[in-house]
Amino acid sequence: MAHPDDAELWAGGTLARLAQAGAAVTVAVPEHADAIRNSEAAAAANVLGARYQPYPTVNANALHDLLDATRPEVVITHPLDDVHPDHRHVASTLTAALPEIVIATGFPRRVYTGDTYNGLTGHGPVAAHSIIDVTDTWDIKMQALAAHASQPIAEHFGPMAETLGRLWGSRIGARYGENFAPLPVLGRVPAATTL
């Protein structure tokens, strides 16, 4: 993800759910210049049951090295047409790093894009695809998001998360949901029953 609070905002309920199921979950974001943001990110990852992994910069080599070191089964990133330029940069840099590392290691096996601001990309609304019921982990998501106290969580990001969570949840008959879309890896979208 691009910013210290992005994992919690766009995928926090799903990450908490995976951690509760015993998956090794890592939240990887570029190291922030502000030490407070880095400590908030570490605290939030801990709330989710995840490990915090800052990396030095957003470039294909850094992401290649991170993927090589962690060998993730699944990666969640931003939409390629996200309205935020930092989000687009991370997503496009990740896709540039994928071919070589997947050919060399076989990992990651699946890549997904998450949601974005009010569910709107540069090309219109985010399409419903793989909606995960996060009702049981919603409070954990919101606690992790609240760990980013230096950010406008109560005024801005929290209410947006609530709106998006209810939107996606209503589409699957749940109280809260998070939506993800598969991103092809070397021209393939592997079959999966979960992220």
**Domains by residue range for the chain, with CATH:** 6-183 (3.40.50.10320)
Instruction: Return the amino acid letter for 112.
Output: Y
Question: Which residue bears the tokens 């090295």?
Answer: 65
The pLDDT tens digits for 21-31 are 999 999 999 99
Three-state DSSP at 52 gives strand
How does pLDDT run across 16-66, given as a tens digit for each residue? 999 999 999 999 999 988 999 999 999 999 999 999 999 888 899 999 999
Cα→Cα distances 62→94, 96, 142, Å: 10, 11, 30
Q: Which residue bears the tokens 């801990």?
A: 46
What's the pTM?
0.95
